[in-house]
Amino acid sequence: MTERKTSHPSSVVVLDHPLVQHKLTRLRQKETSTAGFRRLTRELSLLMAYEATRDLPLETVEIETPLEWTHGHLLSGKKLCLVSILRAGNGILDGMLDLVPAARVGHIGLFRDPATLEPVEYYMKLPEDIGERVCIVVDPMLATGHSAAAAIDRLKHAGARQLVFVCLLAAPEGVAFLSKAHPDVKIVTCSIDRELDDHGYIRPGLGDAGDRLFGTK
């Protein structure tokens, strides 16, 4: 997977692999159906998970193949916790669980106040051992960055120490905000789009990811 890093303070990785960009373009299209949007999001989730888990620690183990004994590598320690920012984060969560089915899962319920654009929490449930796991936080859109930063604030307060934020699309404003609030958090995205509009939507974007995933609009 080819990566391109920006000059932002935190580590920002934009996935420019041809398959990622092909699927993202299909995802953006207005005529893509709800079923197609879900399928493409799931496929992109697998590709993003590949990059998000690049730095997981390994341990050397001895195994027996059908021909001989040899050494291999397995993931070390408590491994992963996938944290979905509800509700749209579940669209990415499902695809990542296909790749790492043993991962623990947490949920944070946040919605953006339409007047202030500030995040409001209504739910949070996390594994007790979250401090021992690499936490991959998933949400399709990094727009203003306020919800992502608020979610990571809560995760750190709960004991999380290693965090990665994964999204389909990001706005420059959201990347800058999250990078400043949490410079230790790696951001993985398929695209950094042009800008936010006056309503806090990413342009050109792909519309409301939650509504397109769940067919609610």
Across the strands, what pairs with 60? 73
Query: What domains can you pick out in the chain, each with its CATH number?
Result: 3-214 (3.40.50.2020)
Residues that are catalytic: 112, 116, 208, 211
Report the percentage of the chain scoring pLDDT > 70.
Answer: 94
Which pLDDT value is given to residue 7?
Answer: 45
pLDDT band at 26 (very low <50, low <70, confident <90, very high): very high
Q: What is the mean predicted confidence (pLDDT) over 105-127?
A: 84
185-212 b/e with 16+ CB inside 10 Å = b?
bbbbbbbbbeebeeebbbeebbbebbeb
Question: Over 60: is that where the pLDDT of 74 sits?
Answer: yes
Beta strands in the chain (DSSP E): 3-5, 12-15, 58-64, 69-75, 80-86, 104-112, 119-125, 134-138, 141-142, 162-170, 186-192, 195-196, 202-203
Q: Does residue 158 have a pLDDT over 90?
A: yes
96 annotated ligand-binding residue: no
Q: Please check if 9 is assigned to a binding site.
A: no
Query: What confidence score (pLDDT) does residue 1 get?
Result: 52
Annotated ligand binding at 191? The verdict is no
- According to the annotation, is 144 in a ligand binding site? yes
